[in-house]
Amino acid sequence: MPTPVESLEQRFGIAGAARFDRGASGLPRLRLTTDAADAEIYLHGGHVTHFQPRGAEPVLFLSGRSRFDATSAIRGGVPVIFPWFGARAGAPSAPAHGFARTAEWDVESVERGAGGVTAVLRLTLTPDAATRAAWSPDFVLRHRVRVGHALEMTLEVENRSSGPLEFEEALHTYLVVGDVREVTLTGLAGTGYIDKTAGMARKVQGPAPLRLTAETDSVYLGTRAACILDDPRGGRRIVVEKDGSASTVVWNPWAEKAKGLSDLGAEEWLRFICIETANAAEDRVVLAPGRQHAMRASIRVESR
């Protein structure tokens, strides 16, 4: 009798383009190969852990200490945050950032695009006993991952409840950089934000490009603009564009807080910045019964 991974390979594998295997700790993983890029996605969390354009360096950071098990979130890549962002209001014992990033997702389809330049994975997540214990509404969560010259991820929420569905969401993208102290970020000038490192103080981003100099945990609100990350040591720019998203989150724990993260190496904080496509805080989504909402993030690399 075939194992679950063998069954996935028989049903969805595509020779030379899509291969299911056992990744770290034996967790089911899909490896996508196109003429433009390679990628890896774990069914645990519906989690993209690797994206590398052909002839370029990897775009996503992945911690060398990340826990790959059935209950922990993977540190790095692109965790899927749903249905709340951060701590759940009124429920301090609820899992941070919701349950989607530690749930087991189902494969809906895998396709290779014309010409072999792109490949598309579609995953789904529906309620089970574990999710209903934390959150009662009826929903379908779909995650579409398109790999080509850019990494494109679309998170779609369908409300199957009889009443409105209120939720927060994020594609919590970790981007690898040469040195986070040297990068600059444009696209957020003049935007109001919540500074979670300053007691949730409300601030406004100035006109100059953003440069991180300390622990940063900022939720930028009411912004649909693209962000451009300039990485001088890495010799490239990373462009993050989005649709269906009104929030952008910028995060790095910096040296002191990184010491308290057991799944992050002591110096690994230097190697990434999180630029998250999100709908959080007052940008949360309220979805009528029977309706759908889609949030898309597109990540591509440019030369400096």
- Active-site positions read 172, 276
CA dist 29 and 49 (Å) reads 10
Task: Please name which of 39, 3, 35 lies closest in space to residue 19, comparing C-alpha atoms.
Answer: 39
Task: Please name which of 237, 227, 236, 243 lies closest in space to residue 275, comparing C-alpha atoms.
Answer: 227
| Beta bridge pairs of residue 39 | 32, 51
Task: Please name which of 176, 143, 144 lies closest in space to residue 53, comparing C-alpha atoms.
Answer: 176
Give the residue carrying structure tokens 């496509």: 277
Give the containing element (helix H, strand E) for 5: helix 4-12
> Residue 299 corresponds to which tokens in the numbers above?
């990540």
| Beta bridge pairs of residue 272 | 176
Length of the chain: 304
